[in-house]
Structure 1
Amino acid sequence: MHLEAVYHRIKQNWSYAYDHKTLHIRIRTKKEDITKVDLYCGDKYGWENTHQVISMEKWASDGLFDYWEAAVQPAYRRLVYYFALHNESKTAYMLEKGFFDHPPEVIYEGLFDFPFLNPADVISPPAWVKDAVFYQIFPERFANGDPSNDPEDVLPWGGTPSPDNFFGGDLQGVIDHLDYLTELGINAIYFTPVFEATKNHKYDTKDYLKVDPHFGTNETLKQLVDACHTKGIRVMLDAVFNHCGHTFPPFVDVLHNGKASPYADWFHVREWPLSAAEDGLTYDTFAFEPIMPKLNTENPEVKDYLLGVAKYWIEEVGIDGWRLDVANEVDHQFWREFRRTVKAIKPETYILGEIMHDAMVWLQGDQFDAVMNYPFTNILLSFFARRQTRAEEFANAIHKQLASYPKQVNEVAFNLLGSHDTVRLLTLCEGKVERMKLASLFQLTFLGTPCIYYGDEIGLDGEYDPYNRRCMEWDEAKQDQDLLSFFKGMIQLRNSHAALRTGGLKFLQDQHNDYVLAYERRDAQDRFVIVMNNSERAVTSQTVVSGSCWHNIVTGQSVRADKGQLNAELPAYGYMILQATQA
């Protein structure tokens, strides 16, 4: 028994309140080392009358570890507990104070202690996000609905993009195409910045309280949000609060007046006077970019200004979420105050941080509801696009990612396969639409909140910026209509069945094909098995399942499992989606 691999601690993703009644307790053990784990638990003030033994479920495994979980509803919202770890030859008892060969004799000393399930401490993301399908729009490249606000040097729609050119995309263009989005099945939009700035991406903010004139007016944004809400679409804006642009009036004042400026402490100045010389910046910026000076969010005036911005667009325009740019470079205290401010106005506001690494410290209920799930992105791209991993490694990586966060955080994770910051998915798939479909199919049948980058659904491709920011193609003759139909069908399937959004997940075995990925999604109403062949040759999938009668949603045919095994022919990069018709 390898006790050195066993891990548990109080709170975070190991011991947490899932809702106001339920605690989830998890423990990690060495893979295939422990055959059974029992959770001994009860009330610390009344153990004799409340204690119980719960057999924990091995709910996930990765390449090194098994993860066990139990759900407990303590009658008095208090819980003390310890674990009994079993294998074929030994039982060990794990308490907070260590490992023992026998159960504790004094129950009030050394146990793990969840002191009290306080409702205010429960991580409670907005419920609507679990059912959302987001669509990311880069406003300058989506649609030109109002040529009167075009920049002077605007280029004809659909030309070759560059870091500095403009094609006239605006908010009216989005309004004009809302029917397209609803037909696609979209019920939430994430906009990259819409506030006044100099660049086409608008991440160099000049005025946080004014829509960029090339996009329209504040009233245009209000009309857009109202129109979206009428169609059941939520709207999330981009908050660029780590840094501003070089034309932001307080920064301009500091450039002119130096230390004497009333805004001198709004920024992180290393040395006076400010200089962006080639031999080194004298002020902190985003990524050494001279035109994006970093804001000092510890300064009370800066804090008040930015929190006022966050309030303004919720109160005056009615937005439903904030995506927080470069969120991990802003101090935690600012984000705590940001959350309190935003949630006091509109509790159902979705707060999404841009963090590309482990983000548990931001996801404990006091800062963000979710983060952009780039670990998920990388897992899918490695398997489907780059084909660097096998199905078992893919499943291990997904399990490890799920074990990293509480369940309610995973349910609203922002699952993306591409954005304005990445190579287009179709390009990563070497132009092979079939591989792109497989990646998108997993994204759309997995828990969390999927986001589609504009144009992916009709076959836009492109390398890094600027080519991943091409103009949206509105000529249907130039769109991949088969791919568009695929996205519509898969989004509709997701929207129609809660099992594909919040149901249980189980990976299934195909011992004969390393690149066949099979998994089950289920809840009390539905049960699905999805099987994918991520290889260049046709295979016979021999997937182990429970249940014998299935309906193939893709072909409309009935499928039977023979002695608990599906024997199905799958073409290269083919897939099937089976819905159980009988247990």
Structure 2
Amino acid sequence: MNGIYSDQTKLYLTPEEPIVGEKVKIRVRVPKYLGKVLGSVYVTPEKNIKKYRNIKMKLIKETELFVYFERSFIMPDRNIHYHFEIELLDKNQKIKYDAMGLVNKRSIHNFVLIPNFKTPEWSHGSIYYQIFVDRFNNGDKTNDPVNDEYIYDGKKIIKKEWNELPSQENGHREFYGGDLKGIMDKIDYLKDLGVETIYLNPIFVSPSPHKYDTQDYENIDPHFGKIVEDTEDIKEKYKVRTTFKSNLKASNSLFLDFVNTLHKNNIKIILDGVFNHCGSYHKWVDELNIYDDGVKNNKNSKYKENFYWNGENYEGWWGYSTLPKLNYSNIKLREYIANIGIKWVDNYKIDGWRLDVADDLGKSKEENIEFWKFFNKKIKSKNKDTIIFAEVYKSPLEWIEKKSWDSIMNYITCMDPVSYFLTGIEKHNDSINESLFMNSNEFIKSVTHALSQLPMNSKFIALNQLSNHDHSRWMTRTTRKIGRINTIGHEEAAKDIDLDVFKIGIMMMFTLPGSPGLYYGDEIGLAGWTDPDNRRPFPWNEVENNKILNFIKKIISIYKKNNALRKGSFEFLNNDGGYLSYGLWNDEKKYIVIINREEIEKNVNIPVWLLEINQGKANLLISNQETNQEELNFNNGNLNFIAPKKSAFIFELKY
């Protein structure tokens, strides 16, 4: 029973982000082939989600193929949950429709309206580029870590050459020298690529290359910033570099210049906030004994209340003593962390925070949600256009409904389902699931459910990625191998790669609802197993005349010119095995995406009438393969197409 449709874009909801007291209009579309119909909406207040109020809707518009029903109301000071009921008068049948589509033998997944929930306009569909700073580009060799500079995780740190690869044993204590100056030197490269927002892995003082074990939230690490005062005494070198005020002040000043330079080039910047835990070198713990009064060396330290305790030992996140878990029952800690968030937004003008392991913070979900709500409110009071999104691998609905986060890293909509559908490989290359490989039914089910968990415009600002610092490179997953460095070695990560599948994944990342995000090196096809191999130094010698880079530039250019790809209605059209198609549209333009992952060509008939168009032309915007099918004619609401094996196409529909 195709054709019934609603979402929360401006075609079906106005305004898209209502405030209390504002008149709201919600709409649903019903195809005429269903005969005479009546529409109604079931609305429920947040405090009693099982008690619905059935409100009849008015027929407001007819087109050649559809009728539209609408209902308006004044937005109350509470969340509204709603779904629709369509009564088929000729068939004496009632159909329910919710945020997942037609309801058939499953529970209701309501649309959610959150009053006064505003998300920054700039963030809707923004093109992200994630940078692991130590491995991107070395712009200032004077701030490079040096061999034996300090002990990390029981062993001396290592300075490696740029052309060397990370090792399994020492990857977390190996440094290459990438820094903020290195990124500044490549701004023209990023602009030419089409990047709109940079997301940096942590950059605050920390002993590791990844810096998820914060030593000092107040300052940029001078190894990424600027070292103006140094010593040749190796025993004192790390202390001088990371604690002397001259180095910290210079590094923070450089960061401010960095942010200003990005903004002058119309590029936003997101920082990584690691607030669930700090590191054992943090001044509150002080394992290196370079500060005063840390709990490691003073059991009566004033910082003791910042941690959870098991007898004489502080609690480590997941049991790691190097990652002391922060105690959010401590009100002073809450205030401190919120003020850290404000400092970098207010004084240094960053555009947002990515929150590391956000759903792990605290000891209960209630404490977790309440702190992030407090944090969010504090940040937005300084700059309402700041974005806050969380690392979470499950539904974020409870947090977003309470305005704790704006959105999420979109594993549930993009990385997981795309990887399984196109390769069958889990995102660490640790296992394979053949039952999900080329299973379009499961893919659609997974994506549809994920999108129902992202209310309002949260889905358009969720970060879609196929690679990042925590998981294997997308290029390596196309090999369909199971492995890591220590099992089959570095070289196998780039052997038997599938460029067709790689490009299909990239095209899906740019067309599924969300903000597409490249991890540095994705644009040139960088390979790598999971951590630490996914953090290889950027091979700048491979950029010139790189065919993958040209493909990425082309799809970014298309994406930026066509707003319905960035923020439009989205609907699966049809599917079969390893084939699927979906549409994206707004009130100006309409597009279809055709995916054939199978090893044989597929002769398919695509119901483009679901995009309210009966006849016209389909003009090719991009494909992962060379093709002569630049323009196709269609009529009677259907487009016949022969999709070659392992192919993907984006067509614009003209009428």
Pair 378,212 (structure 1): closer, same or farther in 2 beyond 3 Å: same
SS of the residue 1:121 aligns to: coil
2:403 counterpart of 1:366: yes
Alpha carbons 1:529, 1:579 under 8 Å: kept: yes
1:461-486 Cα shifts (integer Å, max 9, x gaps): 11111100000111136x77111111
- Relative distance call for 1:358 and 1:165 in structure 2 (3 A) is same
1:114-513 equivalence runs, <5 A = 121-153=115-147, 154-161=159-166, 162-216=171-225, 217-252=251-286, 253-258=294-299, 260-272=300-312, 274=313, 283-330=314-361, 331-376=368-413, 377-386=415-424, 388-430=437-479, 431-476=497-542, 481-509=546-574, 513=576
Aligned to 1:560: 633
Aligned twin of 2:57: 53
* Amino acid in the other structure paired with 2:309: V
**Given that residues 43 and 74 in structure 1 are in contact (C-alpha distance below 8 angstroms), is that contact kept between their aligned partners in structure 2?**
no
Contact 1:243 1:294 in 2 (8 A): yes
SS class of match (2:552): helix
- What are the superposed Cα offsets for residues 525-565 of structure 1, whole Å, 9 maximum, x if unpaired? 11111212112223333323233312122368321125443
Contact 2:438–2:577 (Cα < 8 Å) also in 1: no
Per the alignment, residue 606 of structure 2 pairs with 543
Task: Say if 1:427 and 1:163 are closer, same or farther in 2 by CA, change over 3 A.
Answer: same
**Which amino acid in the other structure matches residue 574 of structure 1?**
S
Q: Deviations over 1:304-359 (max 9, x none)?
A: 22122111111221100011111102222221211111011111100011111111
Shift of 1:567: 3.0
* C-alpha contact 2:17 2:115 (8 A) present in aligned 1: no
Give the aligned partner of residue 40 of structure 2: 39
CA distance in 2, matches of 1:475, 1:233: 25
| 2-structure distance, mates of 1:158, 1:408 | 42
Shift of 1:506: 2.0
User: How has the CA–CA distance of structure 1 residues 434 and 558 changed in structure 2, closer, same or farther, with 3 Å as cutoff?
Assistant: same
CA separation in 2, counterparts of 1:91 and 1:565? 27
Tell me how far 1:156 sits from its aligned partner. 1.2
Equivalent residue number for residue 577 of structure 1 = 650
The residue that corresponds to 2:18 in the other structure is: 19
Residue 200 of structure 1: CA displacement? 0.7
CA pair 158-72 structure 1, distance change in 2 beyond 3 A: farther
Deviation string for 1:214-257 (max 9, x for gaps)?
Answer: 10111221111111101110000011111101111112311112
- What's the CA shift for 1:81? 9.1
Q: Deviating runs (4+, > 4 A) in structure 1?
A: 21-27, 40-44, 54-57, 75-94
Letter in 2 for 1:397: S
Matches of 1:571 and 1:250 in 2, distance apart? Answer: 60
Closer, same or farther in 2 for the Cα pair 1:40/1:579, shift >3 Å?
closer
Look up the match of 2:578: 515
Which amino acid is 2:257 matched to? Q
Larger displacement relative to structure 2 (393-402 or 185-194): 393-402
- Contact 1:158–1:470 under 8 Å retained in 2: no
Residue type of the alignment partner of 1:469: R
SS at match of 1:132: coil
Q: Count the aligned residue pairs.
A: 511
Say whether 1:526 aligns with 2:578. Answer: no
3-state SS of 1:249 partner:
coil
Aligned counterpart, 1:11: none
Cα displacement (A) at 1:300: 2.1
What amino acid maps onto 2:272 in structure 1?
Answer: D
Q: Provide the rounded CA distance (Å) in 1 between the counterparts of 2:595 and 2:351.
A: 35
- Whole-angstrom CA distance in 2 between matches of 1:236 and 1:525: 31
Deviation at 1:198, TM superposition (A): 0.6
- Equivalent residues of 1:242, 1:294 under 8 A apart: yes
- Looking at structure 1, the residues matched to 472 and 70 of structure 2 have their Cα atoms a distance apart, in angstroms, of 41
Identical aligned residues as a percent: 29
- Amino acid in structure 1 at the alignment position of 2:617: C
User: How far is the alpha carbon of 1:432 from its aligned partner?
Assistant: 0.8
Tell me how far apart the structure 2 counterparts of residues 317 and 370 of structure 1 sit (CA, whole Å): 23
Q: 1:329 to 1:561 in 2, by over 3 A?
A: same
Work out whether residues 548 and 564 of structure 1, in 8 Å CA contact, stay in contact via their aligned partners in 2. no
Q: 1:566 & 1:574 partners in 2: Cα distance?
A: 17
Matched residues in 1 for 2:82 and 2:579: separation?
Answer: 40
Residues 542 and 144 of structure 1: is their aligned pair in 2 closer, same or farther, counting only changes over 3 Å? same
**Distance in 2 between the 1:249 and 1:318 partners?**
26
* TM-score (ref. length: structure 1): 0.81
- CA distance in structure 1 between the partners assigned to 2:301 and 2:60 by the alignment: 62
Q: How big is each residue's C-alpha offset from its partner over 1:356-415, in whole Å with a ceiling of 9 and x where there is no partner?
A: 111111102521000111111211111123261422332232222222231322121121
Compute the RMSD of aligned alpha carbons.
3.3
Give the 3-state SS of the residue equivalent to 1:461 in structure 2: coil
CA contact (8 A) 1:23 1:71 kept: no
1:22–1:71 CA contact under 8 A, matched in 2: no
For 2:269 and 2:584, the matched residues in 1 are separated by 29
3-state DSSP of counterpart to 1:475: helix
Match of 2:485 in 1: none
CA contact (8 A) 1:82 1:93 kept: no
Alpha-carbon spacing, 1:173–1:503, altered in 2? closer, same or farther (3 Å): same
Query: Could you tell me how far apart the structure 2 residues matched to 1:358 and 1:227 are?
Result: 36
Query: What CA distance in whole angstroms lies between the structure 2 residues aligned with 1:290 and 1:415?
Result: 32
Report the alpha carbon displacement of residue 514 of structure 1 after superposing the two structures with TM: 2.4
Contact 1:141 1:471 in 2 (8 A): yes
What is the CA distance between 1:451 and its match in structure 2?
1.0
**1:286, CA displacement in angstroms?**
1.8
Partners of 1:195 and 1:205 within 8 A in 2: yes
Structure 1: distance between partners of 2:306 and 2:457: 36
